[in-house]
Copies of this chain bind each other. A is one copy, B any other.
Amino acid sequence: MSRKAQYNLDDVLSQSIDVFLEHGYHGAIMDEIIARTDFNRRGFYLEFGSKQTFLYTVLAHYQETQLNKIMHHLESNQGLPSIQAYFADYVKHVSGKGCLLINTITELGFDDEKVREVGRHYLDRLQIDFIGCLEKAASLKQITPNTNIESTALQLTSYVQGFAVNAVLAGDTDELELATQALLGPLAR
């Protein structure tokens, strides 16, 4: 055996998230990706073969390490508090830079079926998780009894996307936090 690579793949993927977030896919150039990761060009192409497949990998990593962590609140399923915790974390997460998955969908979704597929899968899962939490919340009598759970879940899912866009524009999180309260407040009984 001989030398081992000195970059850690997970680190590289994490570092790349920001580059894509800031400039989008086409706007993120290899020079900056190389410079801001502890990566080298050769390693990059041996490992991934192309910028495109690299994006897919970063996207998967982003979901695993960031979005899933936030969604985990919903999957712990404590009812309404889980939803509140989810939104609190999500707002903090997207603040000032948005969501890589959403950005990728709007930039590449039209041309890239794989991106659309990943996006749909994510939204479906979000929707299902919201339903789970709302059902639990209903059974715990945390929300008003006549709440239409499926509709509400659909609304919450749409709302999350809206936040991701808003986050790019909003300077601070105040506005988004306010909006969240406005949203969840009326649900509670």
Contact = CB atoms under 8 A, between A and B. Distances in A.
The A interface, classified by DSSP as helix, strand, loop or mixed, is helix
Given A26-B26, A27-B108, A27-B111, A102 B165 contact: yes
Interface stretch (A37-45, A53-61, A66-74, A150-158): A150-158
Interface in A71-102: 97-98, 102
A141 interface: no
Given A24-B26, A159-B155, A169-B123, A106 B107 contact: yes
A106 B102 contact: yes
B161 A166 contact: yes
A97 B110 CA distance: 7
A51 interface: no
Contact of A169 (B25, B105, B163): B105
A1 to B, nearest CB: 42
B162 A24 contact: no
Interface size class of A (residues with CB under 8 A): 35 or more
Interface of A: 21-27, 97-98, 102-103, 105-111, 116, 119-120, 123, 148, 150-152, 154-155, 157-166, 168-169, 178-179, 181-183, 185-186
The 10 A-B pairs at the shortest CB distance, nearest first, are namely: A151-B182, A158-B162, A26-B26, A161-B162, A162-B162, A109-B168, A161-B165, A103-B106, A24-B107, A106-B106
Contacts of A26: 24-27
Nearest to A116: B169
